[in-house]
């Protein structure tokens, strides 16, 4: 490529990205419009909550416990140096509820539920099931996409809360029962320091936003994937990458909005 | 070919970017007849089915189904037309998370408000027509490819459509399954009075059951007529296809320099 | 999987999730001590409010009786004006004093109320007359150095070169 080709190549690429962004947005608005009719067969949504939510429960709970344990150990390490070991409870709780709970749950969700959604939709596309639905005058966006979208939005906040809860309990087991931090201080400092609306509430808001983002990205990538085995494989990796980056980016924006001092 | 055409394709051009898959093609499908659309791979046969079903929109020309234009952009009208069509996809395109019974019942549940007992009766009758009534409770993973296609056929005729479209129904079937499928297509067509459209390149099977044939090549209709007319044709391109001759207007050799040049032998 | 079974499992999942939110709200956060009860406002003026924050607790005898509602600057008296919401069932005599205290050595600051002995109580909107400002660390250190210097002027002299 000569030097003069470079700007036009960038320009073309930029146009492609802008067009893709437009298509992405149009798809999102379309999906939102179809969601009410998709909810008419509510049993479909329930099936999806079971597939996406229930089945993610074990990895979320296990990870929550692991993170809680590690937070307690590391937190105690640092706090005891300043004689503030009793603050372990509030340290763990705030870390989990504000940040680690929503973000880690979202990343795990994208990896476990997101990829399964993408693969499922991609394979349905490859097997012409979506085309068959269209030919039978059934809108796949209403019957296939909308229930999964709603299921993701329902599941994420629940999973996020479970992650944080298990994390706090695991930190209690390590901090109070094993290391010997004072039980009363553990809970009272936590209750003093964690605000229902500002911390727990904002954490829930984050999980809802992450749920919308990760579920939609997974559905979109699956729906637009190439209808071949390689296409589906590529799509699942794309889902993980794009979802994860989006979650981290959204977290930055949300944290700045919610937790910066006025 | 008169006003008894159920589907009319008039001067349709379709393609991607600069490449035209179909250039100004016109075909007509008479009610109650079995029509075959044949041609080598990539000639646009399957695209034609997609255009009739309104999945794709032509760049020029129009497609009429029972007098109504298919590609009007009105989704509700298109869905209404599609309910009168039945499509059999190449590998069945069955819903893998549903059983055989549920797959055939799907269009009934979606588009009718029939009682469960009625749906059950209809589904069993459709399965009976394709010879798979006993397989109703099986899952999709438990049936063979040939059986899957028959289930897909039962699903395609669940709402008694006016036109049944078959996308490569004979591909990859053993001789018995081939015979069964061809037989089914003809019998169903005659029994229900529907119109059948077969996209295939299996000349032998098609000629056995179809009433009329269109041959596509290079995005154009190069020949059409009854099987007898086509078998007697003098056109070399058509002859090559129908007789399956390895070399003719469609060359055997991919374009290349002379072999002596490639092997380095002085010419 | 039967329809009933699926619905039960999903219901259990949703229930567990809601329990988790409840746990976080009650056990981890301050929902239990969230007073939805009626409050009445009291005012106090300080020369220096220090690190007192809106939402900080108001305690008397170490027990939380209210919260700081707002902190503003009184341009006429050039003092900090603190408005606090006290729970309605707590009444304080008119000679109550207010002090800004620190929880622990380096912790958050809160407002402490020391009740007086008067019969009459402070009403809604009243101002607490006696207010002791926050202890500013820099002033404290300055005080310490000054008193140290005042104690031993001779040592200071020999110390210098």
Helix axes A5-38, A146-172, angle to 10 degrees: 90
CB atoms within 10 A of CB A17: 10
Examine residue C107 and state whether it is found in any structural domain, yes or no.
Answer: yes
Examine residue C1 and state whether it is found in any structural domain, yes or no.
Answer: no
Report whether B61 contacts B23 (CB < 8 A).
no
| B77–A contact, CB cutoff 8 A | no
Report whether B237 contacts B249 (CB < 8 A).
yes
Predicted pLDDT of residue B195? 92
Predicted pLDDT of residue C69? 85
Q: Which of C17, C31, C63 is nearest to A164 (CA)?
A: C17
Examine residue C118 and state whether it is found in any structural domain, yes or no.
Answer: yes
Residues, chain C: 161
Sheet holding B163-167, edge to edge: B85-88, B163-167, B195-199, B34-38, B212-217, B220-225
Domains: count for chain C: 1
Which residue do the tokens 């006290």 mark?
A: C86
How would you write chain C as a 3-class SS string?
CCHHHHHHHHHHHHHHHHHHHHHHHHHHCCCCCCCCCCEEEEEEEECCCCCCCCCCEEEECCEEEEEEEEEEEECCCCEEEEEEEEECCCCCECCCEEEEEECCCCCCEEEEEECCCCCCECCCCCEECEEECCCCHHHHHHHHHHHHHHHCHHHHHHHCC
Positions in chain A whose pLDDT score sits under 70: 1-2, 261-262
Contact B107 A132 (CB under 8 A): no
CB atoms within 10 A of CB A43: 11
- What is the rounded CA–CA span in Å between residue B42 and residue B22? 10
* Residues facing B199 on adjacent strands: B37, B167
* Residues facing C70 on adjacent strands: C83
- Our CA-based measurement puts residue A22 at a distance from the nearest CA of chain C, in whole angstroms, of 35
Examine residue C87 and state whether it is found in any structural domain, yes or no.
Answer: yes
Predicted pLDDT of residue A121? 94
CB atoms within 10 A of CB B71: 18
- What is the rounded CA–CA span in Å between residue A45 and residue A142? 11
pLDDT digit string, tens, across residues B46-103: 888 888 888 888 888 888 888 888 877 788 888 888 889 999 998 888 998 889 999 9
β-strand pairing of C109-114 with C97-102: antiparallel
- What is the rounded CA–CA span in Å between residue B134 and residue C100? 85
- Residue C64: its chain A contacts at CB < 8 A? none
The overall average pLDDT reported for chain C is: 81
Report whether B145 contacts B153 (CB < 8 A).
no
Reported ipTM exceeds the 0.90 cut: no
Chains touching chain A through at least 3 C-beta pairs below 8 angstroms are B, C
Q: Which of A126, A125, A162, A158 is nearest to A144 (CA)?
A: A125
Query: pLDDT category, B265, cuts 50, 70, 90?
Result: confident
pLDDT at residue C33 tops 60? no
| DSSP, res B99 | B
Q: Chain C, 14-33: which have a CB under 8 Å from a chain A CB?
A: 14, 16-21, 23-25, 27-33
Query: What are the backbone dihedrals phi and psi of residue B4, each rounded to the nearest 5 degrees, phi first?
Result: -95, 20
To which H or E segment does residue A192 belong? helix A183-193
To which H or E segment does residue B256 belong? none
| A135–B contact, CB cutoff 8 A | yes
Q: Can you read off the two tokens belonging to residue A254?
A: 């949300």
Report whether B219 contacts B43 (CB < 8 A).
yes
Of the listed ranges A109-118, A167-176, C118-127, C135-144, the least confidently predicted one is C135-144
Chains touching chain C through at least 3 C-beta pairs below 8 angstroms are A
- What is the rounded CA–CA span in Å between residue B165 and residue B118? 26
Examine residue C146 and state whether it is found in any structural domain, yes or no.
Answer: no
Query: pLDDT category, B115, cuts 50, 70, 90?
Result: very high
| A136–B contact, CB cutoff 8 A | yes
| C63–A contact, CB cutoff 8 A | no
Highest mean pLDDT among A68-82, B213-227, B250-264, C13-27: A68-82
Distance of CA A59 to the CA centre of its chain: 13
Q: Can you read off the two tokens belonging to residue B108?
A: 């009934």
Query: pLDDT category, C1, cuts 50, 70, 90?
Result: low
Which residue do the tokens 């979109």 mark?
A: A220
pLDDT at residue B248 tops 60? yes
- Our CA-based measurement puts residue B95 at a distance from the nearest CA of chain A, in whole angstroms, of 6
Q: Can you read off the two tokens belonging to residue C7?
A: 């619905």
What is the rounded average pLDDT of the residues C34-61?
82
pTM over 0.80: no
Q: Chain A, 242-261: which have a CB under 8 Å from a chain B CB?
A: none
- What is the rounded CA–CA span in Å between residue B62 and residue B129? 35
Examine residue C157 and state whether it is found in any structural domain, yes or no.
Answer: no
Examine residue C89 and state whether it is found in any structural domain, yes or no.
Answer: yes
- What is the rounded CA–CA span in Å between residue A220 and residue A238? 11
User: What residue numbers bound the domain in which C128 lies?
Assistant: 36-140
Q: Which of B179, B26, B78 is nearest to A135 (CA)?
A: B78
Report whether A88 contacts A47 (CB < 8 A).
no
Residues contacting residue C1 through CB under 8 Å, at least 6 positions apart: none
Report whether A216 contacts A31 (CB < 8 A).
yes
What is the rounded average pLDDT of the residues C24-53?
77
| DSSP, res A207 | H
- What is the rounded CA–CA span in Å between residue A190 and residue A28? 40
- Our CA-based measurement puts residue C153 at a distance from the nearest CA of chain A, in whole angstroms, of 36
Q: Which of B62, B57, B112, B52 is nearest to B82 (CA)?
A: B52
Residues contacting residue B216 through CB under 8 Å, at least 6 positions apart: B25, B37, B38, B39, B43, B44, B45, B48, B222
Q: Which of B44, B12, B2, B5 is nearest to B218 (CA)?
A: B44
Predicted pLDDT of residue B103? 93
pLDDT at residue B18 tops 90? no
Q: Which of B5, B21, B4, B1 is nearest to B13 (CA)?
A: B21
* Residues facing B163 on adjacent strands: B85, B195
Report whether A125 contacts A228 (CB < 8 A).
no
pLDDT > 70 fraction of chain C, expressed in percent and rounded: 86
- Residue C23: its chain A contacts at CB < 8 A? 165, 168
Report whether B154 contacts B129 (CB < 8 A).
yes
- Our CA-based measurement puts residue A124 at a distance from the nearest CA of chain B, in whole angstroms, of 8
- What is the rounded CA–CA span in Å between residue A182 and residue A192? 15
- What is the rounded CA–CA span in Å between residue A113 and residue A219? 11
Which chain C residue has the Cα nearest residue A54?
C13
pLDDT > 70 fraction of chain B, expressed in percent and rounded: 98
* A47, A122, B59 from A242: Cα distances, Å: 26, 16, 35
Query: pLDDT category, C35, cuts 50, 70, 90?
Result: low
pLDDT at residue B209 tops 60? yes
| A195–B contact, CB cutoff 8 A | no
Predicted pLDDT of residue A217? 95
Sheet holding C39-46, edge to edge: C127-128, C39-46, C79-87, C63-74, C57-60, C109-114, C97-102, C130-132
- Residue A204: its chain C contacts at CB < 8 A? 21
To which H or E segment does residue B118 belong? helix B116-129
Predicted pLDDT of residue B1? 39
Query: pLDDT category, C160, cuts 50, 70, 90?
Result: very low
pLDDT at residue C159 tops 70? no
β-strand pairing of B5-16 with B60-65: antiparallel
pLDDT digit string, tens, across residues C92-113: 888 888 988 887 766 778 888 8
Predicted pLDDT of residue A112? 94
Predicted pLDDT of residue B267? 52
To which H or E segment does residue B25 belong? strand B19-30
Q: Can you read off the two tokens belonging to residue C39?
A: 């409050």
Contact A50 C6 (CB under 8 A): yes
CB atoms within 10 A of CB C159: 8
Examine residue C26 and state whether it is found in any structural domain, yes or no.
Answer: no
């Amino acid at each position: 490529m000569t030097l003069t080709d470079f700007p036009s190549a960038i320009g073309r690429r930029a146009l492609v990205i802008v067009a893709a962004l437009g298509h992405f947005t149009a798809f999102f608005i379309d999906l939102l419009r179809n969601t009410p009719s998709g909810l008419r067969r509510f049993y479909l949504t329930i099936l999806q909550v079971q597939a996406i939510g229930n089945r993610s429960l074990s990895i979320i709970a296990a990870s929550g416990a692991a993170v809680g344990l590690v937070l307690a150990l590391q937190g105690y390490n640092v706090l005891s140096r300043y004689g503030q070991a009793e603050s372990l409870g509030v340290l763990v709780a705030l870390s989990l509820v504000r940040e680690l709970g929503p973000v880690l749950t979202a990343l795990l969700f994208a990896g476990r539920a997101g990829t399964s959604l993408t693969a499922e939709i991609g394979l349905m596309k490859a097997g012409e099931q979506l085309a068959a639905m269209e030919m039978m005058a059934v809108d796949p966006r209403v019957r296939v996409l909308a229930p999964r979208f709603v299921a993701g939005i329902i599941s994420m906040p629940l999973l996020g809360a479970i992650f944080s809860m298990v994390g706090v309990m695991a930190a209690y087991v390590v901090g109070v029962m094993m290391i010997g931090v004072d039980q009363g201080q553990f809970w009272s400092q936590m209750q003093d320091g964690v605000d229902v609306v500002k911390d727990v509430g904002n954490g829930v808001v984050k999980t809802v936003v992450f749920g919308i983002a990760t579920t939609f990205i997974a559905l979109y990538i699956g729906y637009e994937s190439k209808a071949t085995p390689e296409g589906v494989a590529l799509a699942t990796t794309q889902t993980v990458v794009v979802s994860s980056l989006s979650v981290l980016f959204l977290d930055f924006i949300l944290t700045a909005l919610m937790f910066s001092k006025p | 070919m008169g006003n008894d055409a159920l589907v009319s394709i008039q001067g349709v051009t379709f393609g991607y970017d600069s490449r035209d898959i179909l250039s100004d093609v016109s075909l007509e499908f008479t009610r109650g007849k079995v029509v075959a659309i044949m041609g080598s791979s990539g000639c646009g046969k399957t695209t034609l089915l997609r255009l009739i079903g309104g999945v794709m929109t032509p760049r020029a020309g129009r497609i009429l189904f029972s007098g109504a234009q298919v590609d009007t952009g009105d989704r509700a009208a298109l869905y209404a037309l599609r309910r009168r069509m039945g499509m059999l996809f190449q590998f069945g395109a069955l819903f893998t998370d549903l059983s055989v019974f549920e797959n055939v019942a799907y269009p009934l549940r979606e588009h009718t408000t029939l009682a469960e007992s009625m749906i059950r009766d209809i589904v069993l009758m459709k399965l009976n027509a394709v010879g798979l009534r006993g397989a109703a409770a099986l899952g999709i993973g438990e049936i063979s490819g040939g059986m899957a296609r028959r289930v897909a056929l039962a699903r395609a005729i669940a709402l008694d459509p006016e036109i049944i479209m078959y996308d490569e129904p004979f591909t990859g079937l053993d001789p018995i399954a081939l015979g069964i499928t061809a037989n089914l297509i003809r019998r169903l067509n005659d029994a229900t009075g529907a119109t059948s459209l077969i996209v295939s390149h299996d000349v032998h099977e098609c000629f056995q059951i179809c009433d009329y044939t269109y041959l596509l090549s290079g995005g154009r209709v190069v020949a059409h007529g009854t099987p007898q007319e086509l078998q007697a044709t003098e056109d070399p391109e058509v002859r090559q296809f129908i007789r399956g001759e390895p070399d003719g207007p469609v060359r055997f050799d991919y374009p290349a320099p002379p072999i002596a040049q490639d092997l380095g032998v002085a010419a | 999987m039967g329809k009933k079974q699926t619905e039960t499992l999903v219901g259990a999942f949703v229930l567990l999730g809601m329990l988790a939110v409840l746990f976080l709200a009650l056990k981890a956060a301050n929902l239990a001590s969230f007073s939805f009860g009626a409050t009445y406002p009291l005012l106090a003026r300080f020369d220096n409010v220090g690190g007192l924050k809106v939402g900080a607790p108001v305690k008397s005898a170490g027990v939380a009786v209210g919260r700081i509602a707002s902190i503003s600057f009184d341009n006429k008296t050039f003092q900090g004006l603190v408005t606090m919401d006290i729970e309605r069932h707590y009444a304080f005599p008119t000679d109550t004093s207010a002090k800004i205290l620190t929880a622990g050595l380096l912790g958050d600051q809160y407002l402490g109320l020391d009740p007086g002995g008067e019969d009459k109580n402070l009403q809604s909107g009243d101002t607490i007359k006696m207010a002791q400002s926050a202890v500013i660390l820099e002033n404290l250190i300055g005080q310490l150095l000054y008193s140290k210097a005042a104690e031993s002027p001779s040592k200071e002299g020999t110390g210098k070169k």
